[in-house]
Structure 1
């Protein structure tokens, strides 16, 4: 919770609000107070009262319940606690009768207007009470219940909702801790509703459809910070649940794509998490990956411009003629020595890594308009990740690469891979790399390079679930060890020692001092599994990953990385696995064909009917990757060209230009057959 900056300086500040300031919809004449029931109403009792009211049109009993229950925090607890007399004081059990809360709120919007207005009046009374000290658990329960009120979907209630959010936001950290753990117990449906309600509140405050409905923004500047902090509580709760209640993308607010993101970023850069200036960058989970990409790219461009300007100034100060090439990172490589030449060039031009990348292949004429750069990435990645090269091990069960643990004298090639990933992010190139999610978690550990050179990098907390993403069979065996009901020491006869084959030689490593003499027992097996996992994913590859980490951050050295989740780094580097072929069809360009031509109509009929696996193969065949850039299919700049010179009538791919060359086909069946042969028998590059 430390990343949640306080909204108000005084957490006990009185929250006063004039009822006269509210809209007419929530003002009701005072109603007689009914007698408080001695026992909480059950769900069955409430539903029976509701059925009678709907059948007879007499809502008196239901009205009396709503008036009583929502009149104050005390009555809220009396009505909705599982046991009105019990003291619930645990983070795992709120003590609230969730079924009754759901039933009461599900019915509320279908009750007569005077009941709904009575509930809002009661909430106003509750929120207007003075704060006379730390909040009790009953107060927290009341906030927890009121937060679920569906009436706050309506803009006319936003003034009340804002004050509720402000009071929740200004609670002390210990109280937030309780709320977070209660929120994670909500059903997926209720949790999602809370998130969507808060996001809508923020969006409508930023861009109101009817500005006259709200107070001037200058008088309610605390509305959005309060909502953001409550969203942070929900985000924390979501991250505590495995699997999460909702995908992390459900917290994205696409409205923020239309604000001045760089102003938000610069405010955050200047003030950090200080409560003196609010910035959405304090709450990066609400910023979409598309918006974050814009921030990173503009930050990158500013760094590129700054470095290029400095190079120009240096030239002029030395009275040398400026050369346009000095504004770019110019790579000259030989195809026959691709890795060594690339490594030499990047090492020599380390100061130019943030400049715009341009690639030239020695002995070949050609101006790099983007195609040569992409070809360089494609060829280099394929060569480095080839099993014979030995830098990475491909695990067939998990379909991903992992770092080879073999020791060597020079880890510069791992640094090269990190630089490639950084250059791909800064130059908007999608790489066909298969790293597990754990890799990106390590890449952000820490998110920025520490100034203290002795601080370890690329080390993060790992679990057996992380190991399962890379080596599922080994992880399964370790899980069986943890659940084994017999005598582990006698039946397994293992010690705190691991063995690895390196160049045909078996080497042993102790997981802890004297590990070869410490047997694994029922009592210490969890420690053994954790140390084994940490050894495989952290310690055994530390030098390799540290070089890789430093290479990536030498290009992407920016505080903008702190805005990213590991999953988002993966999407920036490798693209998204979510395919939308209809979107690709809408954005495709044509050369020699019109989109109404018979061949084109056949093509899309066939492709849209392909199973997902064939669609991925087609995308890989034509672009070099089966994943989609952050901006979606439109960012691929996909083109279909007419090819009437082909002798075998197979489609041809130019992966460097995301181009597919199709000869005319007379039948859909023939096109489908040739297309499947083409994408199945080729990697797509170099066919032309």
Structure 2
């Protein structure tokens, strides 16, 4: 620590003296010497130059000194900054094989240089990235662990610099300032591989240094994403680099686009097969064969849906169209959405017994009660798959671990129906999001300072109530005879968490998993994080009412009417909770599409009956608004309507 402070003070005092006397030679000499070689970098920034620091737990870099040197560097005269860049070029050109841990430290120190955010330094930066990207896996392992100790602002800045480098190379504002693309094809792969080291480092930390979304590069949304996808999927036919190899840089918008395009291709293939089959049977083709047509009765919604989906397994990848038996009308999207809403509302009712609701976490979890068959769990999986496949947002509240399990594995093992699926590595943190009260009790057991065996009297056995009958389950072989002690309580907690989130509802979740993947089977799922699957199913929680206002159309009103002006003023100034309630009231979900509200369709229709409350039809994202003359009355009526709404197809 003393050397840390001394180094920082020395650097600052050197600059202060130069500013006082106007002589910058000592400062330039310090920076030129410091960056002239990797050995000099280590001599300057290593905590103890004589020590090896071969552990992944400590890089040995005096990071605070590094931050100070770079902070001062940014404010130095241009001549001094150029001297640093020349020294870095000399360092990179020197032969340093075989690599040592000192080299790895030097790479990290150079990587943190803020000068590399300027396009004028990109040629030098590219060579640094190329050398880092070509290091061995073992060297990368050390770098990943050492990057964990970089502070938040530098970590975040480094991600931005690397993404800026990639974007500038792809879409250069001044192409003449960069070397021709055909002479530096290695620039983008090198930068992406170094970015992958930062991403791996970020994933090692709990909580991570930055959100996974910080790694998104929005500029990649404008690429030919399907060409990237096909290059990744067919390396023999399309050799070369693909961003799909590093999906953490692709935004959820880009991944959704790939998934939708892949889905569309599968829909076309299925429709083509149906057409060929019709022709081979000498039957007349009809437009209906291009769709997954479901006909259900409202009074028998679940059973009819089960039967229809069971009979039309081969059509699940076609475009969905729903008809309610005995009701005229074409499905232009509204009937499909209503089918989803009504079916989910019925299946998730407590008395239906499939899912248990935790009031603290406000999420549903799978009932562990055994069933004769698990078709209904399969149906819920199919529903989620169809929603993703047909770009429909569902108002489903599962904990994060559900989506982690859905990607375990991301692609169903081929031609192996007995393969284990839906089993994920679970932790106490996963249980905290699912059953927080129970998780709190287990945490207290871990933190207990007394005699666990004497005071708790637990064994490696747990009890579960099934249909009013208490049944015992051993967490390990002979668990009923193994007492929980201070020394084995961590094992007990881990086994208990695994039992609750994996073993106790294994059959239920397997049926759910296979239902989802029967629709969404795509290699594009490999690119998704569990959080991103949740976004695809449930939409984004981010809300911007001004974006909704821009896409709203009016029937009987105009945007300049006083009632409309009052309405938007009220909604815009609502609390976030009320805005979510408003969205739930009018659309059936408090989430918005991944691309934001600008992707929504929203309509406000006028009626003249001022005695009625505002009404909504969630299937059509439509608000029926009486022409209240008073802003105060409008506010009262609107608040009553949205507070009492359940958000399921209100009429």
1:412 paired to 2:375: yes
Deviation string 1:428-487 (CA, Å, 9 cap, x unpaired) is 100000000000000000000012333210001000000000111111110111111111
The counterpart of 2:228, out of the listed 240, 258, 264, is 264
Contact 2:230 2:238 in 1 (8 A): no
The counterpart of 1:569, out of the listed 533, 552, 555, is 533
Partner of 2:21: 56
The Cα shift of 1:56 comes to 2.1
Partner of 2:448: 484
Partner of 2:34: 69
Deviation string 1:93-136 (CA, Å, 9 cap, x unpaired) is 11111111001101112111111111111111111112432x10
In structure 2, distance between residues paired with 1:244 and 1:129: 36
The counterpart of 1:683, out of the listed 632, 646, 650, is 646
The Cα shift of 1:556 comes to 0.4
Partner of 1:589: 553
1:245 paired to 2:200: no
Partner of 1:322: 285
Contact 1:652 1:684 in 2 (8 A): no
* Count of matched residue positions in the alignment of Structure 1 and Structure 2: 648
Partner of 2:338: 375
Deviation string 1:606-642 (CA, Å, 9 cap, x unpaired) is 1111111111111000000001111210222111111
After alignment, is 537-546 or 314-323 more displaced? 314-323
In structure 1, distance between residues paired with 2:462 and 2:602: 49
Partner of 2:614: 651
Partner of 2:271: 308
SS of residue matched to 1:42: helix
Partner of 1:555: 519
Partner of 1:496: 460
The Cα shift of 1:417 comes to 0.2
The counterpart of 2:593, out of the listed 622, 629, 634, is 629
The counterpart of 1:284, out of the listed 239, 243, 247, is 247
Deviation string 1:310-355 (CA, Å, 9 cap, x unpaired) is 1001111211100110000000000000000000000000000000
The Cα shift of 1:647 comes to 5.8
SS of residue matched to 1:538: helix
Root mean square deviation of aligned Cα: 1.4
Q: Provide TM-score, normalisation by structure 1.
A: 0.93
In structure 2, distance between residues paired with 1:132 and 1:110: 35
The counterpart of 1:161, out of the listed 104, 125, 130, is 125
1:544 paired to 2:469: no
Partner of 1:385: 348
SS of residue matched to 1:461: coil
The counterpart of 1:255, out of the listed 207, 216, 219, is 219
The counterpart of 1:172, out of the listed 136, 141, 149, is 136
Q: Counterparts of 1:125-524 in structure 2 under 5 Å?
A: 125-133=90-98, 135-271=99-235, 276-451=239-414, 452-524=416-488
After alignment, is 391-400 or 110-119 more displaced? 110-119
Change (3 A) 1:537 1:39: closer
Contact 2:4 2:64 in 1 (8 A): no
In structure 2, distance between residues paired with 1:363 and 1:493: 61
The Cα shift of 1:686 comes to 4.7
The Cα shift of 1:687 comes to 4.0
Contact 1:39 1:84 in 2 (8 A): no
Contact 2:342 2:648 in 1 (8 A): no
The Cα shift of 1:685 comes to 4.2
Q: Provide TM-score, normalisation by structure 2.
A: 0.98
The Cα shift of 1:589 comes to 1.7
Unaligned runs of 5+ residues in structure 2 are: none
The counterpart of 2:60, out of the listed 83, 95, 107, is 95
